Amino acid sequence: MSRLELITPEGLRIDGRRANELRRITAKTSVFSQSDGSAYIEQGNTKCLAAVYGPREARYRQQMLSDRALLNVEFNIAPFSFSERKKRSKNDKRSLEMASFIRQTFEPVILTSQFPRSQIDIYLQIFQHDGGVLQSCINAATMALIDAGIPMTDYVCACSAGSIDKVPVLDLNNLEESSDAPELTVAILPRSGKVNLVEMESRLHIDSLQGVMELATQGCMQVHKVLNGVIKENTQYLMDRLNA
């Protein structure tokens, strides 16, 4: 499908959204009883599960840090998550790169200095891939860390934006990503507005950068409203159970 067909003359995208619309987000916490914290998120048809373990004793003594906790991130995509089955190891180049992006995003936000000589593990699994994988993983990890009671300075909320025929579009799906449209993923701290991650693998004209960046930032704030609503609802549920 050519890029010209991704936006209709009426301004609608292939899935019926306007250029500045997010895909529908569904999120839950405490979905995995064996972990210290967990979360499940659906962003459109992209489905991600995050599990957090720790703080706990470091797995290898030589990796132990005397002044803070070691943050370990593992990322994996299920072979059945694509329309065509692709077998991927968690140690392939792309998976390691994604894990590195996520670790670098959370290291400045988690108060690791409170847990010296320990380790915090974040495991991320994509069950269905329909674009926006990095942002889904970051948003799911944020909720899982909160569910685990890991102290952080703020939420970390991520969203992507791109440019199709010079029109800034929010939250690209897999079809739009596959069209070679430039895509920018941004993660921010909503309270301070600080940008914690900017990732882009394709070229974007400098004249379009500001509009795409602003749209992605607006998307992050919308994501924050959703995630914060889920956390508040879950907290209220726990409080009601304690007071029952």
pLDDT band at 100 (very low <50, low <70, confident <90, very high): very high
- pLDDT tens sequence across 226-236: 999 999 998 89
Q: What is the chain's mean pLDDT, rounded?
A: 90
User: In the predicted model, is pLDDT for residue 115 greater than 70?
Assistant: yes
pLDDT at 75: 95
| Model confidence at 238: pLDDT above 90 | no
Residue 150 has pLDDT above 90, yes or no: yes
**Other beta carbons less than 10 A from residue 43's beta carbon:** 28
Band of residue 204 on the pLDDT scale cut at 50, 70, 90: confident
The per-residue pLDDT for range 78-89, each reduced to its tens digit, is 888 766 555 555
- Confidence (pTM): 0.92
Per-residue confidence at 145, pLDDT binned at 50, 70, 90? very high
Q: Which pLDDT score is estimated for 91?
A: 66
What residues does each domain of the chain span? 12-243
Domain 12-243 of CATH type 3.40.250.10: no
